[in-house]
Amino acid sequence: MKIAKSILLIAAGVIVLCAVWAGVSFYRLPSVEGLADRRMNLTIQVKDWKGKDHPFIVGPRNGYWTPSRNIPTEMKWSVIVAEDGRFYSHDGIDVKAIKDAIRYDLEKRSFARGASTITQQVAKNLYLSREKSITRKLKEIVLALRMERELTKGRIMELYLNIVELGPMVYGIGQGAQYYFDKPASDLTPRECTFLAAMLPGPHVTYNPYKHLSRVLKRSDMILRQLRDKGVLSEREYLQALEEVPNISGMQKKVDDSFKGKMLNLFNKMFKIFQ
């Protein structure tokens, strides 16, 4: 009896300590009120594809920053249909998506599916690490709920599209538009908008256009159909976009330069071996 009582006391103590720790952790989360000011500039850390951290400015001081008024409607809706279909109806978290993700993760016995809304992704990219843990996910949810109270949907979308990863040290659609298409984001066509949105699940590996261009184009086609179905594009605009072949001259030049660089390094190494 005494042993059982001791176990219950220890368990209660652990629960209390966990609750206190969680409360302190959530209390110490950064304030999101300042994000409402569109003149705000915030420096965060982003990673390159080798895992090295680099400072990145979020705000108008970033030369690639694209204000909401200059972001094509097709770009906004492309990421909504691709990443967060209930963006305009949820309050920061998508309960149904979370339930589906939990069920999937339990079956796979891993954190394979995140179910993060666009708001949660903004919270994570601005304030949190990329570790897959329950603690980080809870912090992400708390910050997302706060953002939805303090910010408009338009502001959340503006932040998201200016910090989302689209390539090797390519962050935000302003830089993405220049990197792939040699044009400002405001001039993106519907096809180009869906092309960028198609990469979002994994621009590093799964939807890396350097390695899987056909896969990115196929997903781009799917997003175009969804834009048509939602009335964002008319039937005529949809058919025109399907016929358009993305002018990826900017990307192709980088692929060619990268190949030339690799071959040059290989020849240099071979030359040193035979010296």
What ranges do the domains of the chain cover?
43-273
Instruction: Report the 10 Å Cβ neighbour count for 48.
Output: 11
Is the pLDDT confidence value at 37 over 70?
A: yes
Q: Over the stretch 244-259, which tens digit does the pLDDT of each residue have?
A: 988 776 665 555 555 4
Helix, strand or coil for residue 42?
strand
Helix, strand, coil share (%) of the chain residues, nearest 5: 60, 5, 35
Q: Over the stretch 129-182, which tens digit does the pLDDT of each residue have?
A: 877 788 888 999 999 999 999 999 999 999 999 999 999 999 999 999 999 999
> CB of 108 within 8 A of CB of 226?
no
d(CA 165, CA 106): 28
Q: Cα dist. 57→76, 185, 191, 244 in Å?
A: 21, 18, 28, 34
Query: Any idea which of 13-27, 101-115, 244-258 has the lowest mean pLDDT?
Result: 13-27
Quote the pLDDT of residue 202. 87
Q: Which residues of 231-268 are buried (b: 16+ CB within 10 A; e: fewer)?
A: ebbeeebbeebeeeebebeebeebeeeeeeeeeeeeee
Is the pLDDT confidence value at 216 over 70?
A: yes
The yes or no reply on domain 43-273 and CATH 3.10.450.50 is: no
Quote the pLDDT of residue 18. 36
Reported pTM: 0.81
Going by C-beta distance under 8 Å and a sequence separation of 6 or more, which residues neighbour residue 159?
35, 58, 122, 126, 151
